Amino acid sequence: MKTILSFVLIVSISIVAQIPLEKRTQDLIETIKNKPSSDSIAVWIIFSDKGQSEGIALLKANQVVSEKSVQRRKKVLPSSGLIDQTDLPVNNEYIKQLELIGVKIKQVSRWFNGVSAYIKTGQLNELTGLPFVQSIDRVFSFAKSNSLIENTILEKSSEVYLSNVTNLYNYGASLKQLSMLNLPALHNLGYKGQGITIAVLDAGFNNLPHEVFAKMNIIARYDFVNHRIDVGDGNGGMGSGTHGTATLSVIGGYKPGYLIGPAFESNYILAKTENTESETPIEEDNWIAGIEWADSIGVDVTSTSLGYIDFDQPYTSYTWQSMNGRTCRISIAATMAARKGIFVVNSAGNEGYDGSHNTLGAPADADSIVSVGAVDASGTRVSFSSVGNTTDGRIKPDVMALGANVFVAGTTPSSYYYSSGTSFSCPLAAGCAAVILSANPTWTPMQLRDALRTTASNAANPNREMGWGIIDALSALQTKPASVESLSVNNKNYSLFQNYPNPFNPETRIQYVINQDAIVDISIYSITGEKITTLFTGISAKGIQPPLLFNSSNLSSGIYFCRMSVFDANGKVIYNDTKKLTCIK
């Protein structure tokens, strides 16, 4: 009996000892294989909970994020769900316990409920034994493409560039990049990004004394690389900010006769998230920390001219197969931001064309954000502009803007130059979005994205090289997404809105509104009239209904129809409406 009990005890101890090790992901296990215990590695430590003694329902949204963020979220979230567990702060006691055992904290993430940190491989067993640690994963190795930081093509001195086009403003040499998007027409109408807050997440901003920023309203700044307020160079900090200076000038600079950005009356948040001195995987968590910070302040639009694929050795990189919107942690964060009401814009990348697969860099692969490719002055895709599609079948890039010979602020307080890359088509598109949003502040990210895409130059035939095409800001401004129409406008008791996006692959969303409780059926039909699926059937309460998701993964490209039928208490049809859906694969 003693022998049997001893054996059971040994087996039990063995099993208990192995359980904590299961907290390590397979990626982490492979990363540390054959590494000495003294090696330092970058990991994500995810916690099991946030240690909140009170339920989330007891907290008011504006105790967690700013009032401006709350108002933005109201566009996309129900009043009862303006905040969730992702918004609550990480338990500080957990962080203190990690620091006591020698863990070096790099960034803290509310959205992922954890921290990124440097640890010794020999600390893993101790960490997995902590009851509040849910999992430990390596910080995935991916970085910005080196080609995203462009060399100047032609240095320019301070001289006035006059245009012969009749506009309210003298755009100087920046006229070409704005005219391609039909942006001066919006400025002439009085829309200049006023009331909109834009966050630029980049490699730092080392020339804010430049004349083009003299009137820019910068409301917040932070360096997530060096953990300080100064977002420029020097004072012992890592990274050069010439790239951020250039992209910021493109989106919101203002110097008549020289350079005017699309959104020169917006408010700006500056986040230095990229360390240009190396391509190490820790930049991913800098960006995540930056966008969480911007969200808490109340950002409306973000612009990021960075893409992440390759890293310096010895880190292992993501590959094109990772570009599905669900693998790269930075892409997951970008999608989360969009679902909190932020319009996220990112460069598609400068990796050029590959006939067999995408050349995107995260988070350009994220769902619900806008990825921007580059064209030249003739409107032709530039050879370096990355192509889609994502590995889960979504069309990327979304839209295009000028990315060849874009006029930007230089390295001295009054110099300018031309530069190229999707680094510069991105802020042009983001600035354009901010201007349109200033005219339509109630639009959600999906409605704004839909307006930009459906009015772009290639909307009739979106593809993996050009997406929906070059933005037409005026046409997008004049578009009224059906889902923001009020009952008083459409003057109907019931209304089925056009799906968005459309065309789509593989998912699209459909909304409808009723002004009284009713029995409703929403179904999808093929072009031959065969019912494909029913999205909803039952009693709907009065009001605009939450979006219904239609997934066409198992269907072929083609035309489909969404039919809404409303019935009275006796089962008689009292209203019908149908919308055409276009699936392109």
pLDDT in tens, 428-456: 999 999 999 999 999 999 899 999 999 99
| Highest averaged pLDDT of the listed ranges 12-16, 17-21, 86-90, 425-429 | 425-429
| Separation of alpha carbons 78 and 171, rounded Å | 42
Task: Tell me the residue length of the chain.
Answer: 585
| Separation of alpha carbons 80 and 266, rounded Å | 30
206 band by pLDDT with thresholds 50, 70 and 90: very high
Per-residue pLDDT for 400 more than 90?
Answer: yes
pLDDT for 169 equals 93
140 band by pLDDT with thresholds 50, 70 and 90: low
pLDDT for 60 equals 67
Residue-wise DSSP of 193-240: STT-EEEEEES--TTTTSGGGTT-EEEEEEETTTTBS--SS-TT--S-
| Highest averaged pLDDT of the listed ranges 35-39, 342-346, 352-356, 564-568 | 342-346
Residues of the chain with CATH 3.30.70.80: 2-50+89-138
Residues of the chain with CATH 2.60.40.2550: 482-583
Asked if residue 143 lies in contact with residue 310, where contact means CB atoms within 8 angstroms, the answer is yes
Higher pLDDT, 479 or 54: 479
* Beta carbons within 8 Å of 227's beta carbon, 6+ residues apart: none
The position carrying tokens 């992440």 is 308
pLDDT for 392 equals 84
Architecture field, domain 146-478: 3-Layer(aba) Sandwich (3.40)
Residue 269: CB atoms within 10 Å: 21
What CA–CA distances, in Å, run from 158 to 167, 207, 396?
22, 16, 38
516 band by pLDDT with thresholds 50, 70 and 90: confident
Asked if residue 361 lies in contact with residue 351, where contact means CB atoms within 8 angstroms, the answer is yes
Question: If you average pLDDT over residues 450-467, what whole number do you get?
Answer: 94
| Separation of alpha carbons 187 and 534, rounded Å | 45
Which of 245, 321, 348, 244 has its CA nearest to residue 286? 244
| Separation of alpha carbons 321 and 266, rounded Å | 37
pLDDT for 176 equals 95
- Residue 271: DSSP 8-state: E
- Residue 432: DSSP 8-state: H
547 band by pLDDT with thresholds 50, 70 and 90: confident
Please give the CATH superfamily to which domain 2-50+89-138 belongs: Peptidase S8 propeptide/proteinase inhibitor I9 (3.30.70.80)
| Separation of alpha carbons 33 and 61, rounded Å | 44
pLDDT for 533 equals 93
Higher pLDDT, 183 or 576: 183
354-375 per-position pLDDT tens digit: 999 999 988 999 988 999 999 9
pLDDT for 512 equals 85
Question: If you average pLDDT over residues 369-393, what whole number do you get?
Answer: 94
Strands (E), 464-530: 494-496, 507-510, 512-514, 518-526
pLDDT for 58 equals 56
Residues of the chain with CATH 3.40.50.200: 146-478
| Separation of alpha carbons 137 and 120, rounded Å | 14
Per-residue pLDDT for 401 more than 80?
Answer: yes
Largest CA distance in the chain: 100
Per-residue pLDDT for 232 more than 70?
Answer: yes
Exposure class string for 473-493: b at 16+ Cβ within 10 A, else e: bbbbbebebbbebebeeeeee
Architecture field, domain 482-583: Sandwich (2.60)
Give percent above pLDDT 90 in the chain.
50
| Separation of alpha carbons 109 and 193, rounded Å | 30
491 band by pLDDT with thresholds 50, 70 and 90: very low
Helical axes 445-454 vs 422-439, angle rounded to 10°: 110
239 band by pLDDT with thresholds 50, 70 and 90: confident
| Separation of alpha carbons 543 and 522, rounded Å | 16
| Separation of alpha carbons 151 and 419, rounded Å | 7
pLDDT for 317 equals 59
Tell me the pTM. 0.78
For residue 204, the one-letter residue type is: G
What CA–CA distances, in Å, run from 11 to 16, 65, 125, 132?
9, 49, 19, 25
Question: If you average pLDDT over residues 482-490, what whole number do you get?
Answer: 38
Higher pLDDT, 141 or 303: 303
Per-residue pLDDT for 190 more than 50?
Answer: yes
Q: Break the chain down into helix, strand, coil percent, rounded to 5.
A: 30, 25, 45
Exposure class string for 167-188: b at 16+ Cβ within 10 A, else e: bebbbbbbbebbbbbbbbbbbe
Question: If you average pLDDT over residues 167-173, what whole number do you get?
Answer: 92
* Beta carbons within 8 Å of 508's beta carbon, 6+ residues apart: 499, 500, 501, 502, 549, 550, 552, 581
Mean pLDDT (the chain) is 84
Higher pLDDT, 581 or 31: 581
274-309 per-position pLDDT tens digit: 876 654 444 678 999 999 999 999 999 999 987 655
Asked if residue 263 lies in contact with residue 228, where contact means CB atoms within 8 angstroms, the answer is no
Helix (H) or strand (E) segment spanning residue 550 = strand 548-551
37-74 per-position pLDDT tens digit: 888 888 999 999 987 654 565 566 667 789 999 999 98
Instruction: Reduce the DSSP state of residue 582 to 3 states and report it.
Output: strand
- Residue 136: DSSP 8-state: E
Under the phi-then-psi rule, with left for phi > 0, alpha for psi from -120 to 50, and beta for the rest, what region is 149? beta
496 band by pLDDT with thresholds 50, 70 and 90: confident
- Name the token pair of 547: 């979006």
For residue 306, the one-letter residue type is: L
Question: If you average pLDDT over residues 135-149, what whole number do you get?
Answer: 59
Question: If you average pLDDT over residues 555-580, what whole number do you get?
Answer: 84
Question: If you average pLDDT over residues 509-533, what whole number do you get?
Answer: 85
21 band by pLDDT with thresholds 50, 70 and 90: low
Question: If you average pLDDT over residues 397-413, what whole number do you get?
Answer: 95
